[in-house]
Amino acid sequence: MALPSQDSAKLVDAHLAEVYRYAFRLSGSPWDAEELTQQVFLIAHQNVDQLRHPDSARAWLFTILRHCFGRNQRRWEPQREADLGLELDRLAEETPDAESIDSESLQAALNKLSGEYRLVVLMYYFEQCSYREIAEKLDLPIGTVMSRLARGKSALRKLLADDLLAIAKVSH
Amino acid sequence: MTSEMWAAIESVPLSGENPADSLSPEALQALAQDERLRATHERIVALDHRIAVVIHDVPLPEGLANRVAEAVALSPVRGAVVPIATASTSLGLGEGAQQARSRRFWLAAGSAAVVASIVLLAMALTQWNADPAWNVGQLAEAAAHFCLSGGEQSGDARTDAPPSDFPFGRGVVVPSVNRWRLIGDFFGREAVAYELPSIGGHRATLYVARLNISDPLDAPPQKPDFSTGRCAVAIWQRQGVAYLLVVVGDQPVSAYPWFLERPTSPLT
């Protein structure tokens, strides 16, 4: 049975924080995150009859968010090739300590990832999707998702490590 | 270890109880044989779990809930859900009567469908060249996206007399200087965009176009028809001319009335 339209308000109450946080991580700016969040809930409100099960509301809203984010990005900017190399020999030095990561450094690194890598990485970390779920939701081959995820995670680690290195240099 | 095998290791879902369960025997063997790689893998798993926690650490802006709730409340719902009761359950008819009723129903429904098809075909033929009517909510949403994507900035601003087909709207604050742009494609029609004076850090544009709108108001509404965090849109139509007032800024819904003329009280 479909949810009645007045339940849009309940959707906002229950999922606003998560949608905004996801939107912020995707867009990297509070302005854009709020814009995206509003778009998501307006689209959800106008199509609330499509939501058959309240339990799937979170996944449904995230799907709308990803769609809005993709639509707002006129085209994916290319990722720097230097960030994407998967050099197994250098994994250790390019992996920062877990304790050194905070919200700001994470966002600074995410902002440097191109949209297509950022999306896959966020689906992995924020939504905690498996690569199969990511492939299904983005309608991509599993091999493409695995490769993109590995490269995206590797690039994120390098960017985080570079950031920490830069901070260390400044403090010395 | 190959890049493909490493990609498979990197793709192990975070939500699993024991990540090693998701690794292939080859990957497990490769990790078991290389102590340095295994140590790095453990650091990466720890980092992954740290990122999965930190990623949710985003402060919410003050008033966000109110702004979103306000925007949702102002937005029309597409496709209301109407519960349908079946005849057999509501009337409690016997089986024979139900069958006879069912035959009559399908005969009537078939006839109605044929008649409806003829009527629709006739309407389609007569309306072939007519403009589709815009729903106010959908047009307002589309206009917001048009403005936020920079569509309003297209064309050079002019200060000479605007085309008389696109008169400035009544009820909107009149700028001291008429700055306007001609827009070649505004939802498939030509339009004039009048720049209004900025008020309180908000800018506003009045679009005037010959658009067909279903069930419009004939004056600016008291509240916008659609809004997002940065943009509010109000629509009305007067003497066949459509007016779209778009306000862009931090508090577009609150700022919208600033761009309307205050009603004058009658002289006593």
Q: State which H helix or E strand residue B198 sits in.
A: strand B189-199
**How many domains would you assign to chain B?**
2
Kindly state the average pLDDT of the residues A3-10. Answer: 66
Q: How far, in Å, CA of A134 to CA of A142, rounded? A: 8
- Torsion angle defined by CA atoms of residues A103, A105, A108 and A109, in that order, rounded to the nearest 10 degrees: -110
Please tell me whether residues B94 and B24 are part of one structural domain.
yes
Indicate whether B34 belongs to any domain: yes
Indicate whether B73 belongs to any domain: yes
Please tell me whether residues B252 and B184 are part of one structural domain.
yes
Mean pLDDT for chain B overall: 74
pLDDT in tens, A125-170: 999 998 889 999 988 898 899 989 998 999 999 999 988 777 777 7
Q: Which of B3, B11, B75 sits opposite A45 (nearest CB)?
A: B75
Is pLDDT of A106 > 90?
yes
Smallest CA–CA distance, residue B4 to chain A, in Å, is 8
B198 contact partners, CB below 8 Å, separation of at least 6? B204
CB contact under 8 A, B68 and A12: yes
Indicate whether B265 belongs to any domain: no
Please tell me whether residues B254 and B140 are part of one structural domain.
yes
Ranked by mean pLDDT, the top range of A23-32, A66-75, A84-93, A157-166 is A23-32
Smallest CA–CA distance, residue B122 to chain A, in Å, is 32
Indicate whether B93 belongs to any domain: yes
Among the candidates B129, B155, B180, a domain finishes at: B129
Indicate whether B254 belongs to any domain: yes
Please tell me whether residues B20 and B108 are part of one structural domain.
yes
B122 contact partners, CB below 8 Å, separation of at least 6? none
ipTM greater than 0.90, yes or no? no
CB contact under 8 A, A47 and B79: yes
Nearest alpha carbon to residue A18 among A95, A128, A126, A131 = A126
Q: Is A129 on the interface with B (CB under 8 A)?
A: yes
Q: Is A54 on the interface with B (CB under 8 A)?
A: no
Per the document, the length of chain B is 268
- Torsion angle defined by CA atoms of residues A64, A69, A74 and A77, in that order, rounded to the nearest 10 degrees: -140
Q: Which residues of A touch B76 (CB under 8 A)?
A: 46
- Torsion angle defined by CA atoms of residues B118, B119, B122 and B126, in that order, rounded to the nearest 10 degrees: -170
Q: Is A89 on the interface with B (CB under 8 A)?
A: no
Please tell me whether residues B123 and B140 are part of one structural domain.
no
Kindly state the average pLDDT of the residues B157-177. Answer: 85
CB contact under 8 A, A92 and B36: yes
Q: Is A85 on the interface with B (CB under 8 A)?
A: no
What is the pLDDT at residue B118? Answer: 55
What is the pLDDT at residue B125? Answer: 45
User: What DSSP line would sit under A17-82, residue for residue?
Assistant: HHHHHHHHHHHSSHHHHHHHHHHHHHHHHHTGGG---GGGHHHHHHHHHHHHHHHHSSSPPPPPHH
Percent of chain A with pLDDT over 70: 85
Nearest alpha carbon to residue B72 among A60, A54, A7 = A7
Q: Which residue of B has its CA nearest to A51?
A: B81
Q: B27-36, B73-82, B88-97, B146-155: which range is least confident on average?
A: B88-97
Give the tokens for residue B2: 């190959």
Q: How far, in Å, CA of A144 to CA of B182, rounded? A: 46
Please tell me whether residues B239 and B139 are part of one structural domain.
yes
Please tell me whether residues B157 and B193 are part of one structural domain.
yes
pLDDT in tens, B40-55: 888 888 999 999 999 9
CB contact under 8 A, A12 and B72: yes
Smallest CA–CA distance, residue B87 to chain A, in Å, is 20
Among the candidates B111, B129, B147, a domain finishes at: B129
Give the tokens for residue A81: 């090739």
Q: Which residues of B touch A99 (CB under 8 A)?
A: 50
Please tell me whether residues B193 and B75 are part of one structural domain.
no
Please tell me whether residues B30 and B99 are part of one structural domain.
yes
Please tell me whether residues B209 and B146 are part of one structural domain.
yes
Indicate whether B61 belongs to any domain: yes
Please tell me whether residues B48 and B91 are part of one structural domain.
yes
Indicate whether B247 belongs to any domain: yes
Residue in the block written with tokens 């997002």: B228
CB contact under 8 A, A38 and B54: no
Q: Is A145 on the interface with B (CB under 8 A)?
A: yes
Among the candidates B99, B129, B159, a domain finishes at: B129
Indicate whether B266 belongs to any domain: no
CB contact under 8 A, B80 and A49: yes
The range of the structural domain enclosing residue B190 comes to 134-259
Is pLDDT of B83 > 50?
no
Please tell me whether residues B16 and B74 are part of one structural domain.
yes
CB contact under 8 A, A92 and B141: no
